[in-house]
Chains A and B, each alone.
Chain A
């Protein structure tokens, strides 16, 4: 490296934006060049001494902002609310995956209509002892199609779903949420008659909830840490397809994380990432999978996910920071293993990696959020 190149990269070096090779070359150059060493030291000292004092915002600023947000939502004219909803939906409708999901929903809906147009075949009649149908006007029982047990693996998402649910200790006889199960039944049976089956005799039952309503309710369950129900609801929403399918898949995985930790959740995140590649949901799922792998000590797997994310604009910086941290963790593990090997002449089992999934769940939000924020440079100034 020469002085000209050093001048071009010195700020990147100061703010840790250089790759390791170039940073090492710049540091070596400073060791041999008084001019560049002076420049580097001066800039570093300026940053150290010249920290702007951080001002606390007024105590009521947050509440004022949130109150203004509530007013903004309340005052939004109906036309604008509808327009906003339409623009959001239209934005997502342009995506190929959602277009295909919408087509699938259309096909299912038309199947429902066409099949229900001939109800005679599915109507059951009570047969008298004489072997003839009951007289018209008497009660007719519509049989409920056999539902699969709650613990079984449903057809839509991945095989990991069934395995995760088994690991979480669900039994086949556990009572299940009727609407979610009906929705799953719709997905499994292709929609043929399941809605009617879920309301066998009560024709005054409330109509099927809208997708958005179901999504909101599932979100409320997740907020209330009712992870099991939230997971089921989100899986049902994803199975139905539509605008919320992708985010429902991700939030179902989040619910698994909340309920069972990284051991169960990592595969779910990977499944979501593979089902929704190239969009923010898929990227976020990959990011969560990487974090879980790191927690579980599966560093190679974490590294693969982070290398994938590094190619995306929104996650490049974060992924690189995480990769650097991963290298440090890997070196630490190697050092521990070497020390153990040196202290024990006879071959011995290495201590198993402490499962960190519970630690991840128990971590306070502020610390987790602080990790998510870009690393503050103040405490780490220096070459």
Chain B
């Protein structure tokens, strides 16, 4: 049955789960836990909380399984849940004090301490600076973290969730042109952060 379930679309798996096939839910978790986790962690920028929120996303799927309408795409519905939970969490966090600049965000080797990422936002202005892959990645992470929330969520839904712009518009509740406008701003900011790296110049050719 693994092969048959592996061929099934997400919507078909939801049909089966609604009918009581618990393994169909397991397949949906296997498909989406990584992208949802990445979306949440990049959006909240808080690794330890990201695990809990990711779990909450799938629990919301369990609780609301009967409400899923098969005319819609499952990915749109799932990312809508994820986005809403992130917004709720960010509202709670906004009442807290700003984290220390030296706070290391958990055991994530890819994510630098916030102090480092702030410093990286203003690197030396050497033209075509050669950099290691990890430096470039750190710059990307920092630049995405620095995006305004509305631009960041659109960027993450497109790049991590791989949702088309039309679906991002459904998830975020704004028009498609607004989504594209936010994405364009996000990419322009990213371009500013990356423009001094040699890798970027090479990619231009």
By a beta-carbon cutoff of 8 Å, the part of chain A in contact with chain B is 11-12, 15, 17, 41-58, 61-62, 64-66, 68-70, 72-73, 84, 87-88, 91, 212, 215-216, 219, 222-225, 244, 247, 250, 254, 257-258, 279-281, 284, 287, 291, 312-314, 317-318, 360-369, 372-377
Contact = CB atoms under 8 A, between A and B. Distances in A.
Contacts of B136: 49
Contacts of B197: 49
Contacts of A66: 25-26, 29
Contacts of A17: 164-165
Nearest to B190: A50
B81 interface: no
A58 B51 contact: yes
Interface of B: 1-12, 15-16, 18-23, 25-27, 29-31, 33-34, 37-38, 41-42, 51, 54-55, 58-59, 62-63, 66, 70-73, 75, 108, 110, 136-137, 140-141, 143-144, 158-160, 162-165, 180, 183-184, 187, 190-191, 194, 197, 199-200, 203-204
A379 to B, nearest CB: 12
Contacts of A215: 19-20
Contacts of A376: 162
A53 B109 CA distance: 11
Contacts of B73: 313-314, 317
B184 A224 contact: no
Nearest to A43: B187
B55 A87 contact: no
A337 B125 CA distance: 57
A46 B6 contact: no
16 contacts: A45-B191, A46-B190, A49-B140, A50-B190, A52-B140, A68-B62, A222-B1, A258-B4, A280-B71, A313-B72, A314-B71, A363-B7, A365-B2, A369-B6, A372-B7, A377-B162
Given A212-B20, A365-B5, A12 B55 contact: no
Contacts of A50: 140, 143, 187, 190-191, 194
Contact of A52 (B23, B38, B71): B38
B30 A62 contact: yes
A279 to B, nearest CB: 7
Contact of B29 (A62, A291, A361): A62
Contacts of B11: 280, 284, 314
Contact of B159 (A52, A222, A287, A368): A52
Given A42-B191, A372-B7, A372-B10, 6 more contacts: A15-B165, A49-B140, A52-B159, A70-B22, A224-B1, A373-B31
A47 B187 contact: yes
B144 A52 contact: yes
A313 B72 CA distance: 7
Contacts of B6: 363-369, 372
A41 B187 contact: no
A64 B159 CA distance: 26
A11 B1 contact: no
B124 to A, nearest CB: 18
A288 to B, nearest CB: 8
Contacts of B162: 373-377
Nearest to A87: B66
By Cβ-Cβ distance, the 8 closest A-B pairs, closest first, are A365-B6, A280-B70, A45-B203, A223-B1, A57-B37, A368-B6, A46-B191, A374-B162
A219 B5 CA distance: 11
Contact of B4 (A48, A62, A247, A257): A257
A57 B19 contact: no
B3 A368 contact: yes
A55 B108 contact: yes
A349 to B, nearest CB: 33
Nearest to B23: A223
Given A49-B197, A57-B51, A247 B15 contact: yes
Nearest to A54: B38
Given A49-B203, A223-B1, A88 B37 contact: no
